[in-house]
Amino acid sequence: MPNPFEAVWNTLKTLVDNEPKNPLHVGEVMGIWTYLTVINEAIRYEEIALNTTTDNEVKNLLIDAKKLCESQSQKLSNFMEKEGIPLPLTQPKKPISDSNEVPLGTKLTDDEIANGVSLKIVTAATECAIANSQTIRTDVALIWTEFYTEMLTFGATTKTLLRKRGWLKVPPYYYPPGLPKQD
C-alpha cells in the first residue's frame, strides 16, 4: 500500500531538486484555461448578486467568495502569462447598483444566490480535482492543491450558512429494500 507521507516527500523533493520544468502539456493548459474561465464567470455572478441582495450574511458570503475568486484568478492569470498561455476572454466588471432599486421580478432570492455560490464552489472544486489528476508538473499540482483546499474550506462556511437558513438542497434519502422501517 502506498505511503502518503512518502508521496508528499517525493513531491516536495522535486521542488528542491531543481528538476527542469517541462513545457505544459495540452491537458494541463486546458485545465488551467477552463478553471480561469469558471472563476471569472463566478466573479461576475457574485457582482450581480451583491447588487441584488440586502441580507448582510449573504453579502458577507458574496464578498468573501469574490475575494477568493479574484485571488485565484490573479494567481492563475499571472501563471498563464508567464507560461505563454493566452487568457480567456472575460466579461466586463458589473457596475455597483442599489439593491433596493432592482425590481422584485428580476432579483434572485437570497436562497437562490447562496445556492448559486454553492454550485460554483462545487464546480470549481471538481475542476481542480480533474485538472490535478491530469497534471504532471509539480508546480501546477501545487496550484491545484492550494485552490482545491481553499474551495473546500470556503464550501464548509457556505454549507453552514445554507444549513442555518434552511436553504441546503438535500436529495431524497435512500432506503435500501429490506431495511427495517424506522419510526
Is the pLDDT assigned to residue 36 strictly greater than 70?
A: yes
Angle at 129 between CA 166 and CA 94, to 5 degrees: 60
Q: Is the pLDDT of residue 2 over 70?
A: no
Domains of the chain plus CATH, in order, are 24-90+107-165 (1.20.1260.10)
pLDDT surpassing 80 at residue 73: yes
Q: Band the pLDDT of 13: cuts 50, 70, 90.
A: low
Question: What digits encode the pLDDT tens for the residues 76-87?
Answer: 999 999 999 999
Q: Which of the four pLDDT bands, split at 50, 70 and 90, describes residue 138?
A: confident
Cβ atoms within 10 Å of 122's Cβ, excluding its own:
13
Q: Which of 82, 42, 90 is nearest to 66 (CA)?
A: 42
What is the model's pLDDT at position 95? 92
Whole-model pTM: value is 0.85
